[in-house]
Amino acid sequence: MKTKIVTVIAIALLVVINFSIWSYVNNPLQLQPWTKTTMGVTFDPQRKDDSPTSGTFPSATDIDNDLALLANKVHAVRTYSVLKGLDKIPELAAKHNLNVTVGAWIDGNLEKNRQEIALLINDPEHKNVKARLWSLNAEDWKKEISFKDQLEERLKNAFTRRLNSVIPTERENFYLVNGESDFLPGLLILKLKNQLLIQYYALFWKKVEKELLAIIQSLVTVEEIWIQERNFNQAKAIRSVNGSKNAEFVLNEYGLNYQIRINEHYDFGIYTDMSAIRKQMVPYLQKSQSMLNLYSYTGAFSLFGLKHGMTKVVSVDLSSKYLGWLDENLALNPEIKKENHTSMCMPSEKALEKLAAEGSLFETIVCDPPSASSDGSSTSSALKSYEKLLPLMLKVLAKNGTLFAFLNTHHISWNKFEEKLKQIIAASEFNNQLVIGKRFKLSDDCLPLKGFHEGDYLKGFLIEFKHKG
C-alpha cells in the first residue's frame, strides 16, 4: 500500500515539475505595443475579388486607399511587379510621402520579363539612392545600345528645348538640364551667363565625366565649366574644368543685375529654381506697395519688388554676409530707389515680433525658409518653423495683402504642407479669416517629372484674407 502511495506521489511530483518547466519555457511574453513608424512592408493591393484568372486587378483608387492607410505608419513599401496597374504605385506613394522599393517578378515568360525589367544606372556610392532609372523601353533589351549615343541625344534635346525658348531672352540664369525630367537622372546643368555649373546628385556621373564634358562642349561654348558634387553635409565640393579657382561676375534676370560668386560659398548668389516663380508672382507684386522678405538671402525677391514700384521693402536675414551681398546687388541697379529698402539682420521670428510691435503692415510677404533653418542658437525644420512664423506674419499682413509661403523639401507632400498651414491658421486668432489659394510650383526650365517626388521639392502657397479691407 505504501509503495502505491509513494508511486502516485512521485508521478504527481513529476507531472508538477514537467508542467512547471513547460510553463516557464512557454510562458507568453507581454510585449509593449509598437507605436513607432515601421521601416517598410511588402505591399500588394489586391482585393478579394481581384484575380489574374478573371483578369481583374486593383484600380488606382484601390491602390491609393491602401497607401493612405500606410501613410505615417511605414517609411516605405516594397513591390514585386510593375504590371497590371502596379506601375502607378510610385506616383501614388509620393502623394503620401512613402518611399518605394520597386521589384520585378521574373519567370520563364520572356516577353513578360521584358515588360517588368527597367534599365538602371547603378550608383552604389550614393548614401540613399543606389540606382536610377535610365530606360523603360523594352527595345533596349532586344539590341545592344550605346550609352554614349543615348546620352548625347538626351543632352541635345534638353539644351535645344531651353536655348530655343523665350527663357534666354529674359534671363541669363536657367537650367539646361533638370535631372529626371530630361531623362538624365541625378544630373543638373545650370547656365550662368557665360559659365556652366554641372551638379551631380548621382555619383555615377563622375565615372562618365570625360564623355559627359565632351558632349557638352560640342553643344555649347562657354568661358568655364564648374562641377559641383551636391552632398548631404553641405560641404563646398566644387572644381573647374579649366583650372579656375573661382569666378565673380554679374548676370541679369528679368532686367535686374545680380553679383555671382562661384566657389566662394556652397551657393553662388541666386536661386535659379525660383526664377520662373518670380515671374508668376508679377501680377500680385504690381498691385503692392510694400514687401517683407523673410530669409532674404541676397535679395532677389526684394530687388524684384523694388523694380515693380514698391516704396517700402524690408529684407530679413540672419547673415550679415548675405545682407551685404544684397547691398551690392542694389548698387548694381542704379534705377532702383535704395532709400525704399531696409535690412534687418536678425532671426525672422524676432524681426516679425519687432515689426508687429511697431504696427508695421505689408501688402506682400515672402517667406522662403531653408529646409533646416537656424536662429543662431537652435535649428528646426522649415515646416515646424511655420508654427511660430505664420501667426506673426498674419499680424503684419495688410488686409488687402498676399502672403507667399514656401517650403523646400521633397519629404513633405503638397497636401501635408497645406494641411499644416490650415491647422496653424485654425489655432490662431485669424481662424476662418483666410484662404489658401494658388500653388506656385517649379516650372519652365526646371519643371519636375510627374511621379518623381524628389524633383517636386519646391512648394509655394498664396495666402490671403477672405475679406480685403
pLDDT digits (tens, 9 = 90+) for 169-199: 999 999 999 999 999 999 999 999 999 999 9
pLDDT of 377 reads 44
| E strand segments, 318-454 | 341-345, 362-367, 372-374, 379-381, 397-408, 434-441
Nearest to 269 by CA among 255, 281, 253: 253
Q: Which of 81, 101, 104, 105 is nearest to 90 (CA)?
A: 101
pLDDT of residue 96: 85
* CATH architecture of the domain formed by 271-465: 3-Layer(aba) Sandwich (3.40)
Q: What is the pLDDT of residue 218?
A: 96
| Mean pLDDT, residues 425-431 taken together | 94
Say what the pTM is.
Answer: 0.77
Higher pLDDT, 235 or 35: 35
Which of the two residues, 119 and 456, has the higher pLDDT score?
A: 456
Per-residue model confidence as pLDDT tens digits over 34-73: 677 778 888 888 887 777 776 677 888 888 888 888 888 8
List the beta bridge partners of residue 465: 434
Distant-in-sequence, close-in-space partners of 89: CB < 8 Å, separation ≥ 6: 43, 45, 63, 67, 77, 79, 100, 102
For residue 375, name the pLDDT band (cuts at 50, 70, 90): very low
Q: Are 168 and 174 in contact (CB under 8 A)?
A: yes
Helix (H, G, I), strand (E, B) or coil at 261: strand
- Is-contact 105 80, C-beta < 8 A? yes
The per-residue pLDDT for 362 is 98
CA dist 124 and 20 (Å) reads 54
For the chain, the domains span 38-117, 147-250, 271-465
- Label residue 214 by pLDDT band (50, 70, 90): very high
Question: CATH for 147-250, among 3.40.50.920, 3.40.50.10490, 3.30.750.80, 3.30.920.30?
Answer: 3.30.750.80
Q: What is the DSSP string of 24-86?
A: HHTPPP-PPPP-SPEEEEE-----TT-BTTTTB---HHHHHHHHHHHTTTEEEEE-S--TTTG
Q: What is the pLDDT of residue 406?
A: 97
The most distant pair of C-alpha atoms in the chain lies apart, rounded to whole Å, by 121
What is the chain's mean pLDDT, rounded?
86
pLDDT for 235 equals 60
**pLDDT (average), residues 238-242:** 92
Instruction: Answer yes or no: is pLDDT of 282 > 90.
Output: yes
pLDDT (mean) for 376-403: 85
In whole angstroms, give the CA distance from residue 199 to residue 177.
10
Return the closest-CA partner of residue 440 out of 417, 424, 423: 417
Convert the pLDDT of each residue in 313-370 to its tens digit. 999 999 999 999 999 999 999 999 999 999 999 999 999 999 999 999 999 999 999 8
Cell digits of residue 456? 517636386
Mean pLDDT of the 462-468 span: 90
Position with higher pLDDT, 226 vs 466: 226
pLDDT above 70 (res 139): no
pLDDT of residue 376: 43
Percent over 90 (pLDDT), the chain: 57
- Mean pLDDT, residues 418-443 taken together: 94
